[in-house]
Amino acid sequence: MSHDLESLLRSTLGAVDEKPHQLSGADLRRRARRQHALARMGLTITAAAVIAATTVTILNRPDHTNIATPPSTSDRPSVGPSSSNTADPGGFVNIQASDSYQFDTLPEMVATSALVVEAEVLSQSRGDVEGGGSIDRLATMHVIEVFKGTPPQSLTVVEPGWDASGRQIVMGGLPPLSSNARVLLFLIPSSRPGARDVYLRVSSAGEFILNGEESITTGQSIDPAVQPLKKLSPAALRNAVRAARAEADAGGVKPRKPLDFVTEDHATASGSPD
Amino acid sequence: MGRDLDQRAARFDEYVATQGTRLLRSATLLVGGADAPDVVQDALVGLYKRWDRVVAAHNPDAYVHRSLVNAALQLRRRRRRVVIPITDMTAGGGHAEMVGSRQDMARALGALPPRQRTVLVLAFYEDRSEAEIAREMGCSTGTVKSQKSKALATLRKAIQNEDAKAGMR
């Protein structure tokens, strides 16, 4: 019986009637090449996706010290106490807040600033200046020239750091200070408790990047004081600041008072619900 | 470099031309007539990019067949029952009863679990030893023996049932 079964099996297998099909080596080779190309494309797409995901992850990390590209300066801050946040897919959030100070003239800006210096960014770090758990970006500066005030031995400029989601905060379009950048800064001391020798820009008009032949305003300020200074050569800008300092010292130019947003906010909040 | 590719292409084309029909027959037994061409093509397309290694192998046919079996087993996991077509012509001249028995056997084969059918095809059609079957299927010879034993038992029972039905008619 066993022998018969195996004989029948062999006989059946030998009688297989394969479907007529002409296999072509050339067709198979073409298919192999196509598969190979698709696999390579898939790998490329996967690699690009991994790189993009990694980049976004790194940019979103709170301890990321690389500086993201700031948003376009074409967006101007609104006037008044309101502010709006624009999250950018690149990993930063632009806070279009109104400046505490608005300046009509350069002497006003100099008079209001505690410190006006030309400096170079030595290094960057992160820290909690306020002590409230927020993460700030700290730039240690090498002072090259002092136009006003007495800078501390080690000058630190504090900038907004990262929000709760880990995105870098850009305030008023001002880009984070980048390493080795040469800048002219209008500074006021940080009023945060525990902040020592730490300064911040007086407003979004308080920074000029001295880039070769021209001075570049990077903030979104539309202050009248800033407009004539745009595109001045660094030397011309320095002269303008010196002259403004002289004018402020000569008297007649008072420091500006910060805009009282708190009062306006309070008034709005306590007003009629309608 | 281009010359190497040309040579590889020529050797591949030659292999497909001479061995294609045999591969197609094996595949038909393994997965049935409907899927056999796809399985053979999948196996050969997958092998083409390393065809130099296939040719350089001690036994290129075994290399190709192993790929074919893998492709067949992968496909067959998706189908529970396959149709194995057999010719009505009997080798060496036969008779209608023999043809009927083969049809019954082909149906019983098609109803076997994929691995059991593969063992039988490799053993009784390809004439592979149990050790060779174990290598091709990536399992132990003990597994091959047990699968073969179970498969033959199932076939025997199926044929006996068919004979009993025929006796009642």
Per-residue pLDDT reduced to its tens digit, B11-26: 888 889 888 888 999 9
pLDDT digits (tens, 9 = 90+) for B32-49: 888 888 889 988 988 887
DSSP string, A135-159: -EEEEEEEEEEEEES---SSEEEEE
A15 and B90: CB-CB below 8 Å? Answer: yes
**Quick check: helix, strand or coil at residue A127?**
strand
Could you tell me the strand order of the sheet in which A168-171 lies? A83-88, A92-97, A168-171
User: 0.80 exceeded by the pTM?
Assistant: no
For A66, A123, A160, A181, the CA distances from A119, given in Å and listed in that order, are 20, 12, 19, 8
Q: Are B94 and B103 in contact (CB under 8 A)?
A: no
The Cα–Cα gap between B108 and B97 comes to: 17
- In chain B, DSSP assigns E strands to none
Q: Are A124 and A65 in contact (CB under 8 A)?
A: yes
> Taking CA atoms, what residue in B is nearest to A19?
B33
Q: Strand pairing partners for A121?
A: A141
Q: Other C-beta atoms within 10 Å of B21: how many?
A: 16
**Quick check: helix, strand or coil at residue B17?**
helix
Question: What is the bridge-based pairing of β-strands A83-88 and A155-159?
Answer: unpaired
Q: Are B38 and B75 in contact (CB under 8 A)?
A: yes
Top residue of A16, A17, A24 to mutate, by most chain B CBs within 10 Å, is: A16
Q: pLDDT value at position A97? A: 56
Q: Other C-beta atoms within 10 Å of B106: how many?
A: 22
Q: Are A9 and B155 in contact (CB under 8 A)?
A: yes
A28 and B45: CB-CB below 8 Å? Answer: yes
pLDDT digits (tens, 9 = 90+) for B51-104: 888 888 777 888 888 889 988 887 755 566 788 888 765 544 456 667 678 888
DSSP string, A212-271: TTEEEE-S----TTTGGGTT--HHHHHHHHHHHHHHHHTSS-PPPPPP-HHHHHHHHHHS
Q: pLDDT value at position A271? A: 35
Q: pLDDT value at position B122? A: 93
Cβ-defined contacts of A234-240 (< 8 Å, 24+): A234/A184, A234/A210, A237/A184, A237/A208, A237/A210, A238/A118, A238/A145, A238/A147, A238/A184, A240/A106
Residues of chain A with pLDDT under 50: 43-44, 46, 50, 54-55, 57-59, 61-90, 261-274
DSSP state of A117: E
The Cα–Cα gap between A109 and B38 comes to: 79
Q: Strand pairing partners for A123?
A: A140
Q: Please classify residue B68 by burial: count the beta carbons closer than 10 Å to its beta carbon, then call 0-12 exposed, 13-18 middle and 19+ buried.
A: buried
Q: 1-20 in B: which are within 8 Å (CB) of A?
A: 9, 12-17, 20
| ipTM score | 0.81
> Which of A18, A26, A32 is opposite residue B49, by nearest beta carbon?
A32
Instruction: Report whether pLDDT(B1) > 80.
Output: no
Q: The tokens of A93 are what? A: 């959030």
Whether B91 contacts chain A with CB within 8 A: yes
pLDDT digits (tens, 9 = 90+) for A206-260: 888 887 777 777 666 677 787 778 778 888 899 999 999 988 888 778 888 776 5
Gyration radius from chain A CA atoms? 32
A6 and B98: CB-CB below 8 Å? Answer: no
